[in-house]
Structure 1
């Protein structure tokens, strides 16, 4: 139970860890007591065996050593440590226990404890099992029995599981038709679910070991089926789905088995969500039972619970849980300090192993549901966390569109322009008339008269000195721009979402390295500040003064003629203070350089994203921060103050294209790649121009070419000899070296005649 809910606020996780440690220590003490009894029995047996061989010594004045010290026993048997006992208890020896014999009684008691949801029996069951694991079939049976328990009360039929399965299948089929999708495992919010599952498995320590592709795909498909079933999805369902996946494991890896298993797990998750988690009336009834015991053991906590559990009183769940956790944590820390053998050791079992665990288990459903969305700490006047947490508004998860912000910002800047125009008479305050043609000058109107250089000069035209401008400006120009209301709201939502991203805020130039959290939320008491020194002290406490110092250091002269127009100095922008009610906060902060104040009801894009660039450093008051959900909606609920408006949806919920393209849904929709070999086109060549192609077509062409070349060479030599003879040029014939001339071998059968000399 304690392992499943780790992605929760800091105080919540610390309280859970304390409770879990207390339970383990109580179990260790009990096991240590049992081990001591076993060691005493072993010592007595050893003594009985050795008494036969030992000789009793004579009495002496020296003190006889204790039996335990005289007998040499292993160190582990003398006094086993808590860690050693815990390791021994948690060790699983061999296979799961059989279904008969003494172990079957322990399994039966554990099943009974789970079915009755009574954690007070867990201590006894844990001592009996000694860490042995239950078989998978029994785990599945226990879970299914608990999940179908409420359905059996409603239906009063024999085969309740069959009825529930048919009802779930029909509802999923209707959802597929309503949403107009091909299958239930691929809902319209598939990308959102996939991203949330991956982030949850990466952040949650107990789930990292199961972070495999098959496990993540199964989680995504089951949550998609549940969304198609009743259009409901919350991030905390990922944590509730995790134990169901471990309890109901599929028997085989066939495609049919995988598909059916996904629908089965989704059905179990719906039963867990609808039947097994208590409603608020049930929670108060259980809390009343717990307080009867608390009245005796812890009067302070009893008084607190009594004031909270009064009927007909509106209860703030978040504040109640936070106060409860704070008080329970202090009591747990006090009891943790109790050492074995102390007076309080006897009451540990009744105080912590029984009532608080029941109380904690009943409250964990509502508590974790409220903590599913990220919580933002509220910082007080001293700069430390006040202990109050605020849920992050949904507008901070809106899509960030810098292009829309820049466009809307430019259009809004147009609306603050002041009309300007030149005089209607400018350039026309002279008498001028064209000279006409025939004078070898331009036909532009020319100034009349004489006696001055001005006479005869061109006038009126925009190319003339002293003339009017081209297209003189008019005051009836379209100075302002009409902006779509939905587009303006989209830009403001994007700008607000960007203020919650530290990287964008730092890239804007703000010094937020030392502030405790982004977005930064302060207590509503800040709205009552009336003195600047109080505002300065708060900014220094929350480490936001570095941004003010940056503003002071950036003060400089303006470049341009604005220096002449009462705009001599400029400086950078500082934090933006967003408040709900002005009870003096504007007077306190208005004189600090760089700070801008704005009411949450009148958020202005020019202030949230100055220059059209997102990422301004914003400091929110608690009431202003909590009001954002009412102003802009939460996707599930429309805005309460803007008629029919809701937050914009992301154009692309998952930006990991490679993961999208490799997903089963897209791979199933596209055709298989064609594996045919590409036939290379043969390039045709002219055999009359390409010798190789000609030889391949006609091998005798090589002989013909050689013969043609020999004939051509002989003809050339013959022509050259005729020309040389006419010119009287003697050409020496090349004489071959006789040594290099090959001698012809003599004919066989005809030997040379002997005795015949040459004449």
Structure 2
């Protein structure tokens, strides 16, 4: 095919080991050549009629290349070479686009005819041989690359051990002591220069900062083993390379990743694709979605900076409110507290200020929504520089406006969860409803009661149920378990789960396009895993404590197992057994410090 450089054909994946595997499949005698010949012959059969039209034949010949034409249509090629048709440049461009689209359809038709389409149930023996051969080459290449990485890691560990040993040697300690004495004498000398004083001060500052970093782990982002394994990252990067080469395989890969925690590089790619995909339907087909969204967002922010009469977008009129809310949440929410460092909080504050400058949007729960995005796109902080916080703000805007379900639907989901519990686990349902109105303590001013009632009526309409009569007693409405479910969903589970579990939940949401069914199923999974703890509750306050404090204690593996079993139609009481951390006594002491749902 024309228009592709030789280097691109030889190294299509820009990865040494993957490109080596690709080239190995093209060696003489490889099964691909047999399969390729069969596809080409079937394609040639569909092209005979087109080759009788001079202009069409000329365009097809340029696309297919001389090798194909010499083998299947030598006379047509000779005719085109001696007497090329007179076609203007503009007409050539138009005909080339039409011919390319038509040719792709015919190529797929030819591949299906010879049984060479991987997704079809009926594939030929030659296709099976080719797939087995390619799979063997790929896995052998992957094992070699993993071995090389392992050896590299071992060598690095050996070098590090040697350096530690050298630092701890008697000679090194003696030299360090002599250096400290010399620095002390110089500090005591009245003739010491300003330069030396500055240098010594810098050294002491560096040592102090290093000590603080070791003691308090300040400004160091914790690394989770599931996110940093070199072997997992290598496989993830390979999948990303394949998807970049064949974007049409995205749905297949997403289906295979169901129920899995995504590695960092694969997460970044999949989340980005899902965010942009949600905007593609609103744009002209074939448009560069990323470029259009970035330009639109940047221009709007720049214009609004002038309208708001502020110096920069990262310091909006409500920047103090955003700063205080961010500090509070990073100090109280378990998932965020793990990453409580200056860099994370600064980026969050800047991004939220930019979003407010963009369209005057701000709610405290957006701090929670932004947190998973910060973790997923943390690698962009180095490559994007100052634009990183603008990217975060843009992604958060897309999530808020295009992906996250409507708030009325959040109420509908909470109603459906309670309804499913009634059908499938009546004991659990009846217990929750019997204790939720006992010993209720809350401040009604902390809740947007009118908004809650309005959204509840809209949810009932969505579920095709008759509207309820608005309760004159706010206690009855706000004490309902649905309010806590609404809090879970509305905050993306970030406020109640630990960091790794949050990322797992969000991985599944992005893999399935933020379908509200995923939110519903995860709510059921978490509630059922906490079933034993709920059953020992005896009033509203103890139930509230389980809703707000217990989910973060669940193990990721238990959530994964229950999530998969839920889709295998395992009974609800049996799903509770997936929780390996069982209550040994009543956990029901009312905590006045636990934040109320909002």
TM-score, shorter chain, exceeding 0.5: no
- Higher fraction of strand: 1
Higher RCO (CA < 8 A, seq sep 6+): 2
TM-score, with length taken from structure 1: 0.27
Q: Larger radius of gyration, structure 1 or 2?
A: 1
* TM-score normalised according to structure 2 size: 0.34
